[in-house]
Amino acid sequence: MAHDQKNSATSVEPRRSKKKWAVAATIAFLVLAGSGAAIGTHYYGQPQAADSEAQSFTGSTEKIAKGTLSGETSLTATLRYSNSHGVASGFDGVVTSLPKPGDIIGQGQELAEVGDEPSYLMHGSVPAWRELNIDSTNGEDIHQLETALKELGFFEDEPDNCFDWVTRKAVVAWQKANGLRQTGTIPLGRIVFEPHDLRVGQLSVRPGDRTSVGAELYKATSTTQTVEAEIPLANQSLATIGREVSLHLPDGTTTTGKIATVGTPTDKKSSESSDQKTRIIPVTITPDDPEKTSAFQEASITIGLPSESKENVLHVPVSALIALDSKTFGVEIVNPDGTTKKVPVTTGLFAAGRVEISGEGIAEGDSVVVPKQ
């Protein structure tokens, strides 16, 4: 008889284990189908006791919350400093001075030096293309020069397109302040017009290298970071200027930004090994707080575009869902006396790891069973 009892005891456990795994697999499958996010198998704390022997629940719980539940579409994007380009040498000779990667070069500051010929940054959208002196014909480049000299404190009149004796006087004062020959003439290569301050990137040469006019000295960008993303055409309603976007950074922090530009739909290869193409809309996003992203020279990040949103709904963590049968979801409510009851619910919006629920027997503030962490 003792031998029979032992066999009977050991034969019960496998059947209980199979039933437990079947239910857990059903939950994972149903939640995957309903939300796009799979739930693994979990232990939910102490098992519910039979009605005749009720026990207090001692596992993990979460409160049913009520409020706005917002979904978001997640995409991979690239955070980088905008307007990357090369800074060219203005002179022939040996490189004698260069800035360091990460340096910020502002109005009137030195870009580089070749031999004993330094080049300086001045703000302007028209590139420097000629020597400027008292004999120069009128032009926008002269207006840019006078505007820059005025901002630097050397030009007193209102800037115009004419290089006159007032301009020459300002140029001489600027040359003296920078230790240059005081000729009143600005040779081609002395100044570089850029629309904005520059942030130095990777160096292309080093001091001691020979260079020539037009050869690249280093890469530079603007001082403003942008996020570049590609929104699938199927989600084109999300590609609107001014839409707020969440930015999930590599260090685990999250900040926000807004869509600044929306490009024209274009085709992009799905992968390098495939000829299949996907229709996308390129967008750029400007971070709201530059300090939170400034530590990253360039990084792959995840962005979240708000999509569907529902207000004044009950919601719980997705992991609180259980499968009551093959077609019905439920949650396990913890009663005030510590016992639990399984209540069927109807699911709605899945968003940010939570799910909208509705049905009889549930209310805001009720405790529901969730997996132990």
The pLDDT score that the predictor gives to residue 307 is: 81
Q: How does strand 198-203 pair with strand 191-194?
A: unpaired
Domain ranges of the chain: 2-71+310-369, 73-81+225-308, 85-221
The pLDDT score that the predictor gives to residue 359 is: 95
Q: Is residue 29 pLDDT above 70, yes or no?
A: no
- Is the pTM of the predicted complex or chain greater than 0.85? no
pLDDT digit string, tens, across residues 269-289:
776 767 788 899 999 999 999
Question: Domain 2-71+310-369, what fold?
Answer: 2.40.420
pLDDT digit string, tens, across residues 148-206:
999 999 999 999 999 999 999 999 999 999 999 999 999 999 999 999 999 999 999 99
CB 185, CB 176: distance < 8 Å:
no
CATH 3.40.190.10 fits 85-221, yes or no: no
pLDDT digit string, tens, across residues 336-368:
999 999 999 999 988 878 999 999 999 999 999
Tokens (6 digits) for 316: 């719980």
Report the mean per-residue pLDDT for the chain.
87
Mean pLDDT of 308-333: 93
Mean pLDDT of 229-237: 93
Q: Is residue 32 pLDDT above 80, yes or no?
A: no
The pLDDT score that the predictor gives to residue 43 is: 37
pLDDT digit string, tens, across residues 55-87:
678 889 999 999 999 888 889 999 999 999 999
Closest CA to 195 of 278, 271, 106, 283: 106
Residue, of 182 and 310, whose pLDDT is higher: 182
pLDDT digit string, tens, across residues 3-19:
444 443 333 344 444 44
The pLDDT score that the predictor gives to residue 343 is: 97
The pLDDT score that the predictor gives to residue 267 is: 92
Mean pLDDT of 83-112: 97
Coil vs helix vs strand at 162: coil
Mean pLDDT of 113-129: 98
Q: Helices 165-177 and 140-151 sit at what angle, rounded to 10 degrees?
A: 50
Residues, the chain: 373
Coil vs helix vs strand at 20: helix
Q: What confidence tier does 30 reach under pLDDT thresholds 50, 70, 90?
A: very low
Q: What percent of the chain has pLDDT over 70?
A: 84
The pLDDT score that the predictor gives to residue 19 is: 41
Mean pLDDT of 307-312: 88
* 55-to-31, 50, 130, 322, 372 alpha-carbon distances in Å: 29, 8, 90, 20, 18
Q: What dotted CATH number matches 73-81+225-308?
A: 2.40.30.170
